[in-house]
Structure 1
Amino acid sequence: MVEEPWKASEPKPASTKPTRTAIPKNVRATTRAGVIWAFTIVAIVVLILLVIFMMQNQAQATVYFLGLQGEMALGVTMLLAAVGGAVVVAIVAAVRIIQLRSRGGAAAKRLDHGEK
């Protein structure tokens, strides 16, 4: 049979066998324990820096909040404000994650039932 270059040949069927990629010997696999260990080290360094900050900012400051008044060390006051802000951000993030998961679950149920 003579090949006709102007006609497209049929593509070969794709292999169903999964392919493995070789990992170079000098590359180390990242483990969960390794990641947790690294984040623990970073957290310890941040805590040490916070303690230094609080020790250097011990001047008394008057704090007003919702009609209340009190004297606190400036470093502690700023730390409490930062923690309060982090809590607000965490609450907003948790609400968004819950919202996205519920939407994802509803979409998965629709796909299971054949709807669009």
Structure 2
Amino acid sequence: MVDNPGRASDSDATSKKPTRRLPPKSVRATTRAGVIWTFTIVAIVVLIFLVIFMMQNQAQATVYFLGLQGQMALGVSMLLAAVGGAVVVAIVAAVRIIQLRSRGSATAKRADHGEK
């Protein structure tokens, strides 16, 4: 085997201290402030679209709910329906989270009593 004069031999490579490698420049660390800033911008864009939707749907519509009847702008009534749906989903999710936490704490209590 012939050594290349421009390359270090294996024994020279092991005797040198390892060099510290920096991550590639394309990889950026995400910060909490950056994530919050991104979600704020997305929320502003969504709100702008909602305002445009409501402005374009100003026609009056008759709304019936639980025997009640009233006139309301179509865009507002659809927005209220969407908010109502989101509230229902949030309630179901909260009930599920409470259920999982109570199961987790009960399991932890059983594990503590079993070890003692």
TM-score (norm 1): 0.75
Q: Which runs of 5+ in 1 are unaligned?
A: 1-21
Shift of 1:33: 1.5
Shift of 1:29: 1.6
| Residue correspondence of structure 1 range 1-116 to structure 2 within 5 A | 24-26=23-25, 27-114=27-114
Alignment size in residue pairs: 94
Encode CA deviations 1:14-37: one digit per residue, 9 max, x unaligned: xxxxxxxx7715222212221111
Q: Which amino acid aligns with 1:55?
A: M
SS of the equivalent of 2:30 reads: coil
Shift of 1:58: 0.4
Distance 1:43 1:23, change over 3 A: farther
Shift of 1:113: 2.4
Q: Distance in 1 between matches of 2:22 and 2:110?
A: 39
Q: Percent identity?
A: 88
Distance 1:48 1:112, change over 3 A: same
Q: Which runs of 5+ in 2 are unaligned?
A: 1-20
Q: Which amino acid aligns with 2:42?
A: V
CA root-mean-square deviation? 1.6
TM-score (norm 2): 0.75
Shift of 1:100: 0.4
Encode CA deviations 1:40-84: one digit per residue, 9 max, x unaligned: 111111100000000000000000111111100000000000000
Larger radius of gyration: 2
Distance 1:28 1:87, change over 3 A: same
Structure holding more helix per residue: 2
